[in-house]
A and B are shown apart, each in its own frame.
Chain A
Amino acid sequence: MRKKLRIISSLIAVLGVLALGATACGSDDSSSGGGGALTMAIVAPSASDDLAFSQSMVDSVNALDRDITVQVTDGTFIVEDAAAAIRGYAEDGVDVIVAHGTQFGASLAEIAPDFPDTTFVWGTATDTQGLDNVFAYAPAADEGGYVNGVVAAAISETGIIGVVGPVEAGDAVAYINGFVTAAEAGGATVNVTYTGSFGDVALAAEAAEAHLANNADVLTGTAQMVVGAVGVASDAGVPWFGTQSNQTSLDPDLVVASQVYHWEFALEEMLQLRDNGTKGGQTFEINLANGGLVIEFNDGFELSDDVKAAADAAIAGIIDGSIDTGA
C-alpha cells in the first residue's frame, strides 16, 4: 500500500510538472520554415499574449522581415526556469536567444561565455555586462510616458491622475517618470502606486480603486498586471492610457492611447551586425525618433483637435530634443 501511495503522489507531481512543461513549451511557432532559416528563441517572464511586456517582444520578432524560425518559452517568472530554457536553447544550437527580462542578466552572464557562437539578446538593459556575444536593449519608455501624460492632463477634469506600477525598476519607472513630468507640467496632480508585483492582478485592481477613491478621473499603468486596473477603469468609465503593447482591446471605448514597443527596429540592426560577424557587445535603444516606440491612439476614443495637436507637438519636441522628459 505504501508503495502505491508513493506512486500516486509522484504521479500527481509529475502530472503537474508535465502540465507546466507543456505550457512553457506549448507556444512554439514559426514565422517560416526552411532549411537555411535563422533560428531564434524568446524566453519571456509572462504569457506571450499578455498585452504587455512579453507580447511586445513576441509580436516584434514575428514582425521581422526575415526567414526565421521562432521558438518561445514564456511564463518563466522563476529566474532559474528561464536560465534552464536559455541554456537549453543554446545547447540546441539556436542562433539568437532573446532573454526578455532584466532579471535574467545574472543567468546570462554565466551562460553566454559557454556559447560564443550564439548571440544572446538581453533586455531591458543598458549594458552588455562586457560580454561580446550579448546585445542589450532598452526602451526610452519615458518618451511615450511623456506623450501620454500630456494627453492625460488635458482630458482630466478633476486634475487628479492615478498611476499603477509594478516595482520601481526598469522601463516601468521610466514610463511613469515621463508620464508624471508631463502631467504635472499640464497642471495635474499625479498619484503613483507601485504595487510591488508584476503579476498581482487583484492588487493592481485595488490600487486603481484607491486612485478612484482619491478622485482620479484618468488612469494609467505599466506591466502585465494592469489588466486588473483596466477592468476597474472600465467599470468606472475612466479613460486609460496603456504602454508596452496596444491595450485597446481591453476596453475599446476607454483606452485613449498606448505606447507600443516595436523591438523589431533594434532586433533588425542586431541581426544585421550578426550577419556581418558581430555577435554582440552593443546596446540599443528604441525611441520615438527611430520608430521603435509608437503612440497608437484609439480611434474609438474621441480626442479634441487641440489635444491631438498637443500630443503631436510633444512627440515632435521629444524627437528634436527640445522637450526634456525628466527621466
Chain B
Amino acid sequence: MSDFFTSSVLVATFASAIRLATPYLLASLGETIGQRSGVLNLGVDGVMLLSAFFSYWTVLQTGNLWLAVVVALAVGIIMGVLYGIITVFFEATQGISGIGIFIFGLGFSDLMFRQQVGTPKPVQRLPSVDIPVLADIPYIGEPLFQRSLLTYLAFALVPLTFLLLNKTTFGLNIRSVGENPQAADSLGVSVERTRFAAILIGNSLAGLAGAALVLQLGIFQPNLTQGMGFIAVALVYFGAWRPLGVMGGALLYGLVNATVLQWKSLGIIPVSISDLAGMAPAIVTIGALILLARRVNAPAALTKPFSRH
C-alpha cells in the first residue's frame, strides 16, 4: 500500500481520474439540462457513439482535430433535433424513444466503422495544453492544468451550467417547464421551445463527450462507450440534478476507477479478486444513489410529455 502513497503514483491516479471523468462530465451536464426541463434522454450513449465515430473518421480523413470536435458537436445537434421532434413535438414516450436512439447510434456507428474504416487505425490524440504557471504547481499542476482543451471545457461548463440554470431567464424557464409545465405555459413560457432548446444543448454536450472520449484514446472500436452514456444518466441522479453534484459524481466515478486500476497494477488488489474489484465504481455509485434518492426529488415533470389538450 505504501507504493500507492508516493507523489508520482498519486498524481498519475488523479490525472487518470480526470481523464476518465471528462466524457462522463460532459454528457452528464448535458443530461442535467435536459432533465431539468423534464426530458429524460436514454439515448445519450447512442449519441456519444455516433459523435465518437464521426469525430474519429474526420481525424482519419483530414487530420484536423478541431474539425473533428466541430463534427461531433454537429452530430450531437442533429441527434438533438431528431430527439426533440420525437419527444417534444410528437410527445413520444421518452424512455422508449431514448432506447431507440441508443440502439440506432450503436448500430449505425458500428456499421459506418465497418464500411468506412474496418481494422482499427490509430489517429492523433488531443494534445495536452499546459496552463502557464498553474501547470508547474507541484502535485496538482500535472493532473489539473496539463490537460486537453476539452477537459478544461468540461470543467468550465460546471459553473456555466449552474449560472445558466439559476441566474438566467432561460434557466428559470427550463426549471419551470421541468417542474410544472402547465403553470409555465399559462405564464407564457413556450414549453415546447424551452424543452427543445434544452434537448439541443444536452445532445451537443453528449456529442462533445463522444469526441472527448475518442480523441483522448486516439482510436475507435464498435461500442467504444461500453455504456458510458447510461452511467452519465445515472450520474445526473447521483448529482441531484445540480452541476456541482454531477461533477462530484463524475470525479468520484473516475477516481474510484483510477484507484482500482492503480491498486491492481501495484498488486494491492490480488488478481484473484480483480474482477470483483472492477465493480467498485458501480457499487459506490449505486450506494450513493440509494442514499441520495430519499433526500432529493427529481424534476416533477421529468419524463412527462407536455400537451395543452
**Are A and B a genuine interacting pair, yes or no?**
yes
Indicate if the CB atoms of B104 and A16 lie closer than 8 Å: yes
Q: How near does chain A come to B142, taking the closest CB pair, in angstroms? A: 11
Indicate if the CB atoms of B86 and A12 lie closer than 8 Å: yes
Distance in angstroms between the alpha carbons of A205 and B224 in the assembled complex: 12
Distance in angstroms between the alpha carbons of A22 and B222 in the assembled complex: 14
Q: How near does chain B come to A164, taking the closest CB pair, in angstroms? A: 9
Q: Pick from B92, B93, B108 the residue with the most CB of A within 10 Å.
A: B92
Residues of A within 8 A of B107 (CB): 16-23
Indicate if the CB atoms of A249 and B119 lie closer than 8 Å: yes
B217: interface (CB < 8 Å): yes
A9: interface (CB < 8 Å): yes
Residues of A within 8 A of B100 (CB): 9, 11-13, 15-16
Distance in angstroms between the alpha carbons of A273 and B84 in the assembled complex: 59
B9: interface (CB < 8 Å): yes
Indicate if the CB atoms of B122 and A250 lie closer than 8 Å: yes
Residues of A within 8 A of B265 (CB): 162, 191, 193, 207, 210-211, 213-214
B218: interface (CB < 8 Å): yes
Interface residues on chain A, size class: 35 or more
Residues of A within 8 A of B119 (CB): 49-51, 55, 249
Q: How near does chain A come to B83, taking the closest CB pair, in angstroms? A: 9
Contacting residues of chain B (6-40) with chain A, CB-CB under 8 angstroms: 8-9, 11-13, 15-16, 19-20, 23
Say which one of A62-70, A115-123, A225-233, A256-264 lies at the interface with B. A225-233
Partner of A17, one of B11, B103, B216, B219: B103
Decide: A203 near B125, CB < 8 A? Known: A51-B120, A77-B223: no
Indicate if the CB atoms of A167 and B219 lie closer than 8 Å: no
Distance in angstroms between the alpha carbons of A20 and B228 in the assembled complex: 19
Residues of A within 8 A of B272 (CB): 168
B99: interface (CB < 8 Å): yes
Contacting residues of chain B (234-278) with chain A, CB-CB under 8 angstroms: 257-258, 261-262, 264-267, 271-272, 274-275, 277-278
Distance in angstroms between the alpha carbons of A249 and B118 in the assembled complex: 13
B97: interface (CB < 8 Å): yes
Contacting residues of chain B (106-128) with chain A, CB-CB under 8 angstroms: 106-108, 110-111, 113-115, 118-122, 125
B91: interface (CB < 8 Å): yes
Q: How near does chain B come to A250, taking the closest CB pair, in angstroms? A: 6
B213: interface (CB < 8 Å): yes
Q: Pick from B104, B106, B121 the residue with the most CB of A within 10 Å.
A: B104
A158: interface (CB < 8 Å): no
Distance in angstroms between the alpha carbons of A210 and B17 in the assembled complex: 11
Decide: A213 near B262, CB < 8 A? Known: A9-B100, A201-B224: yes
Distance in angstroms between the alpha carbons of A40 and B140 in the assembled complex: 57
Residues of A within 8 A of B66 (CB): none
Partner of A203, one of B15, B23, B106, B261: B261
Q: Pick from B119, B266, B277 the residue with the most CB of A within 10 Å.
A: B119
Indicate if the CB atoms of B110 and A5 lie closer than 8 Å: no
Residues of A within 8 A of B182 (CB): none
A200: interface (CB < 8 Å): yes
Indicate if the CB atoms of A206 and B20 lie closer than 8 Å: yes
Indicate if the CB atoms of B258 and A206 lie closer than 8 Å: yes
Decide: A251 near B103, CB < 8 A? Known: A9-B93, A12-B97: no
Distance in angstroms between the alpha carbons of A201 and B219 in the assembled complex: 9
Residues of A within 8 A of B59 (CB): none
Residues of B within 8 A of A23 (CB): 107, 110-111, 114, 222
Residues of A within 8 A of B221 (CB): 47, 50, 199, 201, 224-225, 227
Distance in angstroms between the alpha carbons of A195 and B281 in the assembled complex: 12
Q: Pick from B15, B107, B108 the residue with the most CB of A within 10 Å.
A: B107
Indicate if the CB atoms of A1 and B97 lie closer than 8 Å: no
Contacting residues of chain B (185-209) with chain A, CB-CB under 8 angstroms: none
Residues of A within 8 A of B111 (CB): 19, 22-23, 26
A27: interface (CB < 8 Å): yes
Distance in angstroms between the alpha carbons of A235 and B125 in the assembled complex: 9
Give 23 CB contacts A-B under 8 Å: A9-B96, A12-B97, A13-B103, A15-B104, A19-B108, A21-B107, A22-B111, A26-B115, A27-B114, A50-B119, A50-B221, A162-B265, A194-B264, A195-B278, A196-B275, A196-B277, A201-B217, A202-B228, A205-B217, A206-B258, A210-B261, A225-B221, A231-B125
Known: A195-B278, A210-B13. 19 other contacts (CB 8 A): A9-B92, A12-B104, A16-B106, A23-B107, A75-B222, A75-B223, A193-B265, A194-B275, A201-B226, A202-B224, A203-B226, A203-B257, A210-B12, A210-B262, A210-B265, A213-B265, A231-B217, A231-B218, A249-B119
A residues at B contact (CB < 8 Å):
1-2, 4-6, 8-9, 11-13, 15-23, 26-27, 46-47, 49-51, 55, 75, 77, 162, 167-168, 191-197, 199-203, 205-207, 209-214, 224-225, 227-228, 230-231, 234-235, 249-251
